[in-house]
């Protein structure tokens, strides 16, 4: 197999070995569940894992537990024209999965395989379905067609109907250990303090950490932290902050900004409760807080929970008014410093 061919064959990431071996064994034994729910925080490579598993199931001559990259099935998959593979995702980034998209699954799962093998439905993000779309999917999961495998990928399994979760085999993806994550980041060209800082901000998710190290993301993050600092100092208003950040710069999602905010709060809590030193700007925010000890920590914990709930609403398909959401959080943030 040439280097070019090898590069187009997806493979699991180093920290996904356990999940890959378990599913691979089920597949080889002919006991693969008809629906798999791949869940875990963003940035852990769940989509890449799903791509690799889909390629494996459609491959005609797997090698060493992976798709070969050379057979007709692999070539069709790589070209995006395999008749037994269907990708379902929002029409635009951050948009919903519409009920019309889910209803169209019926014609795909109802026909026989074009190549006498498995048929694969790749659906992400699963939490982007509204109730009607979820109910439409549920009909397909309740009466699974032979040889059809559903791969549902989600960052927020709580955003799915319990009836859908109960009809899928759950495949959980925890964050890798720090050493393994830093090693992978080093191989990707990110090293030293920049790698550690990005990994902390990503919540331990290596793929997200790599994205966060990109100049556009770093600039947006630094500006967002500066604006939060200005608000804490009384030099800005919640309204102006909401107006600026309800629609972040291209390449940055609002949910990502809230994740940064959560990580900065976590640093503040650790620094105050364990007498540790955090990032210089984060320490500056901490030092401005009124009160000491538990008197200071209690409001921070409360705000952390509020921020976490807001982010869950944002990524869980609730479709809140983004301007009002950011403005409300900014008002609560400012009150911490009064």
Q: Which residue has the higher pLDDT, 85 or 294?
A: 85
Tell me, what DSSP letter sits at residue 214?
Answer: S
Look up the domain containing 99 and give its range. 3-172
Res. 204: pLDDT tops 50? yes
Locate tokens 């309800």: which residue? 246
Longest dimension (CA), the chain: 69
Model pLDDT, residue 7: 43
Here the CATH number for the domain that contains residue 91 is 3.40.50.300
Model pLDDT, residue 316: 63
Q: Which two tokens stand for residue 299?
A: 């409001």
Could you tell me which residues come within 8 angstroms of residue 92 by beta carbon, excluding any fewer than 6 positions away? none
- Of the spans 11-15, 104-108, 144-148, which averages the highest pLDDT? 11-15
Nearest to 208 by CA among 228, 226, 225, 188: 188
On whether residue 191 sits in a domain, the answer given is no
Q: What is the pLDDT of residues 143-164, one digit of tens each?
A: 878 889 999 999 989 889 999 9
Q: Which two tokens stand for residue 75?
A: 């070539």
Q: Grade residue 134 by pLDDT with cuts at 50, 70 and 90.
A: very high
Q: How many domains does the chain have?
A: 2
Q: How far out from the chain centre does Cα 169 lie?
A: 19
- Which of 172, 190, 225 terminates a domain? The answer is 172
| Alpha helices in the chain, H assignment, sequence order | 3-7, 17-28, 46-58, 72-78, 99-103, 105-110, 131-142, 162-166, 178-187, 192-201, 206-212, 215-232, 238-245, 254-274, 280-288, 293-315, 322-335
CA distances from 320 to 95, 113, 311 (A): 13, 41, 10
| Cα gap 195→210, rounded to integer Å | 8
What is the overall mean pLDDT for the chain? 88
Nearest to 73 by CA among 115, 34, 113: 115
- Which of 172, 203, 235 terminates a domain? The answer is 172
Model pLDDT, residue 1: 35
Same domain, 79 and 222: no
Q: Which two tokens stand for residue 103?
A: 């209803």
Same domain, 166 and 17: yes
Model pLDDT, residue 318: 67
Model pLDDT, residue 5: 38
Same domain, 164 and 275: no
Q: Grade residue 18 by pLDDT with cuts at 50, 70 and 90.
A: very high
Q: Grade residue 217 by pLDDT with cuts at 50, 70 and 90.
A: confident
Model pLDDT, residue 293: 66
Could you tell me which residues come within 8 angstroms of residue 130 by beta carbon, excluding any fewer than 6 positions away? 96, 97, 99, 317
Here the CATH number for the domain that contains residue 287 is 1.20.272.10
Same domain, 264 and 159: no
| Cα gap 315→309, rounded to integer Å | 10
Model pLDDT, residue 93: 74
Model pLDDT, residue 35: 96
The sign of the torsion formed by the CA atoms of 215, 220, 223, 225 equals: negative
Res. 276: pLDDT tops 70? no
Q: How many CA atoms lie within 13 A of 211 on its CB side?
A: 19
C-alpha Rg value of the chain to the nearest Å: 22
- Of the spans 169-173, 199-203, 248-252, which averages the highest pLDDT? 169-173
Same domain, 155 and 285: no
- Which of 172, 195, 228 terminates a domain? The answer is 172
């Amino acid at each position: 197999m040439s280097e070019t061919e090898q590069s187009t064959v997806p493979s699991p990431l180093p920290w996904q070995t356990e999940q890959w071996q378990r599913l691979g064994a089920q597949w080889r034994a002919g006991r693969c569940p008809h629906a798999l729910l791949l869940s875990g925080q963003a940035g852990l490579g769940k989509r890449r894992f799903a791509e690799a598993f889909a390629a494996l199931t459609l491959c005609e001559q797997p090698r060493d537990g992976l798709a070969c990259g050379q057979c007709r099935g692999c070539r069709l998959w790589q070209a995006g024209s395999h008749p037994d593979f269907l990708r379902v995702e929002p029409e635009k980034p951050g948009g919903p999965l519409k009920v019309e998209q889910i209803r169209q699954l019926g014609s795909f799962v109802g026909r026989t395989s074009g190549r006498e093998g498995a048929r694969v439905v790749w659906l992400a993000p699963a939490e982007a379905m509204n109730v009607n779309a979820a109910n439409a999917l549920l009909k397909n999961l309740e009466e699974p067609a032979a040889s059809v495998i559903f791969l549902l990928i989600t960052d927020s399994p709580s955003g799915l109907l319990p009836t859908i979760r109960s009809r899928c085999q759950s495949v959980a993806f925890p964050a890798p250990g720090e050493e393994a994550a830093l090693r992978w980041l080093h191989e990707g060209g990110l090293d030293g303090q920049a790698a550690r800082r990005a990994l902390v901000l990503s919540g331990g998710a290596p793929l997200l950490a790599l994205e966060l190290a990109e100049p556009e993301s770093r600039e947006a993050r630094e500006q967002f932290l500066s604006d939060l600092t200005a608000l804490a100092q009384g030099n800005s208003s919640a309204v102006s902050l909401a107006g600026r950040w309800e629609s972040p710069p291209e390449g940055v999602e609002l949910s990502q900004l809230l994740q940064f905010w959560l990580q900065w709060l976590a640093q503040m809590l650790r620094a105050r409760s364990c007498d540790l030193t955090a990032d210089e700007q984060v320490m500056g925010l901490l030092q401005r807080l009124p009160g000491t000890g538990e008197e200071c920590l209690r409001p921070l914990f409360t705000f952390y929970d509020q921020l976490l709930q807001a982010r869950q609403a944002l990524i869980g398909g609730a479709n809140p008014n983004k301007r009002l959401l950011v403005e409300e959080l900014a008002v609560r943030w400012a009150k911490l410093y009064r």
